Each structure stands twice: as C-alpha cells, then as structure tokens.
Amino acid sequence: MRDIAEGLRSWQADGVPFALATVTRTWKSAPRQAGATMAVARNGTVLGSISGGCVESAVYELAMDVLADGEPVLRTYGVSDDDALEAGLTCGGVIEVFVRPASGEHWPELEEVLDAVDSGRPVAVASVIGGPAPMGRRLVVGADTAKGALGDAGLDESVVKQARGLLAQGTTAVVHAACDSERRMGEVAVFVESFAPPPRFLVFGAIDHAGAVARLAKFLGYRVTVCDARPVFATSERFPDADELVVRWPHQFLDQLTVDENTVICVLTHDPKFDVPLLQRALLTPACYIGAMGSRRTHEDRLRRLREAGVGEAALRRLSSPIGLDLGGRTVEETAVAIMAEIIALKWNGTGRRLAGTELPIH
C-alpha cells in the first residue's frame, strides 16, 4: 500500500469510494508477495497491482461487488484452467487475496495509517480474515498504541503482541489467535500488514557511481544517505535521489548512527584514509550488507590495513569486496545494477545464476 498512498489520499480528499485488494498469502511461484495491494475506485480507476496482470481483471470485478454490498471477501486464485472461464495464475502459483471496502466510514483510521507511513512511524494493520470473529474487523497497532477491536479482549491482546513482533521484523503475514468470548469460540486468522520505516542504505563516497547506486536503492525502497567529507562533491545537484546528504568524515558519521540488521553499507571511496577507519567500525555493526568498491589489488591492500588495525578474520569475511556480482557491465549504471543485484541476492539467498540454467522456484 505504501506505493499507492499518494493516490489513496487523493481519492479520500475527493470523496471517491474505493476498495483495497491485498495479497495475504502465497504458495509456489506467486508473482507478488504478501502485502501487494491494488485499489479499485467506484469510478473504475485502478491503482497498484497484485499479480502483474494474471488475475487483476477478476479481482477488479470482485472489488466492484465489495463496493456494492460493503462486505469484505477472501478469495484464492490458483493455476489457470484452460478449459474453464476462470481467472488463474499462469505461473503455477497460488495467491490468497483479501478485498475490503476502505473509504470513508468503512476505514476511518486509514488516514492515520497513511500519515504514519509517510512520516516513517512504524504501524501495522491487523484484519480478521477467517474464524469466528467478524470478517474485516481491524486493529491499528503502533509501537505503543492500539486502536480498534477484533472480537474480545484476549484476542486483541494476543494479536497486538504478534503484530508488534512482525512490525519489528518488517514482516507481513497471517497469524492465528484464540477467540473465546461467550458467543464465539475457536481460532481466528488475522492478516497483519506491517508498514515499518524503510531500511537505511548508507553510501560513503560522493563519486559518480554513488549517484547511480543511490537512485537504484531509492527505487528499491531504501532510505538513502550519501556521506562524504568533501562538501564540493556531496551536493543535492549531484545526488537528487538521496534522502539525506552528510558532509563529515565517514567513520565519524557512522559512529553517531544506530545501525540495525536491515541496514546496507556501501563504501565507494576506495581511498584508505576514508575506507579503513570506516570499515573498522562498519564490520562491528549488525548491518546485513557491507560492501566496498575497488580493484582486487585495492582489496588486498585494504585487507592488509584492516588486519594491521586489529580487525579479525571473522569480521573480514563479512566484507563484500570487490563489490557486486559479475554481470560483465562497464558503465556507471551497469556497475550500480551489479551492486544492487548482490544485495538482493544476499537478502533472499539467491544464487546470482541465470534462472534459465536452474530448476529453482521462480518468485
């Protein structure tokens, strides 16, 4: 929903009724992951996508039905059947889609959720999608707040706890909790959409490659910071895609930051006076990726200097250097793609090989 938030705000301001269709679960080679959202307005306008085109038409019609009767619906779409007039996924996957009316009185907290997303405040939306509790009942869960109700106090308490756990991980998933009120008993399925702040992407070295890396990182959903000690290079004109520009010695700036397991660190300076003190500190952080640019000769010299500075072998094995995958690229932009490809592969445990030469699942 983050990628269509601006459009949803516009619809709200204009009083346009709309429904949201969101992928809740996937199996096999589904085209989109849980959390992918498509919005359908009563006037026929569509925002976003849930399957890259496979089932959009069917979900569009379902959303129109939901807008007409105001009742949320959970629907599963699987492998397409050539002999049937049913929508399906040609990729062979299966997706579960939750469609709900979302404008006006149907979701009064949506404005609050969009505000949190825009400002980078963590927020999760927990919606009932199965079990004895009413379909579509909702909780909006923040770091220390919870608004709404699902069915009974025990159910709410359990879901709030699970939602905060998922929010801390930045994970969207279906959870289960017991409902044991006098009128309803049984297990409730709750879809938790997590809107955690974008992960940080730290680029050190305001060189030409940094501009392309910053542009791609921003496109992939990161909050991008470019840092360089030289003010003549770290300018908004050179880095229009960066969320933050910092003119400081890189290691001093890193010292003041809180680096978590989702942070990416790219060191592009390939200058020992910047690289070594910065990497000494970076390799002590829990960052998910630490890469450094340079030739193999530069890399060997950098390792020697880091060892002399007391960095251990276990820490050095965390360093991706020379940075990026071997794509055979030559240009600044192609190098940036190679860097981002390595980061994506490490994030999802990808092989970096051509899919045509593997029998791995395709997502």
pLDDT of residue 83: 34
pTM of the model: 0.73
pLDDT of residue 85: 35
Q: Are 259 and 283 in contact, with CB atoms under 8 Å apart?
A: no
Q: Are 43 and 62 in contact, with CB atoms under 8 Å apart?
A: no
- DSSP 8-state class, residue 240: T
pLDDT of residue 25: 92
Count of other CB atoms within 10 angstroms of residue 328: 7
pLDDT of residue 153: 87
For the chain, which residues score pLDDT lower than 50?
81-86, 88-89, 182
Q: Are 263 and 287 in contact, with CB atoms under 8 Å apart?
A: yes
Cα separations (Å) of 141 from 1, 80, 125, 156? Answer: 16, 37, 6, 10
Q: Which residues contact 348 (CB under 8 A, 6 or more apart)?
A: none
pLDDT of residue 137: 93
- Separation of alpha carbons 230 and 32, rounded Å: 42
Count of other CB atoms within 10 angstroms of residue 306: 21
- CB-count burial class (<10 Å; 0-12, 13-18, 19+) for 314: exposed
pLDDT of residue 191: 96
Q: Are 127 and 96 in contact, with CB atoms under 8 Å apart?
A: no
Q: Strand, helix or coil at 353?
A: coil
Q: Give helix 208-219 / helix 332-347 axis angle, nearest 10°.
A: 40
pLDDT of residue 78: 76
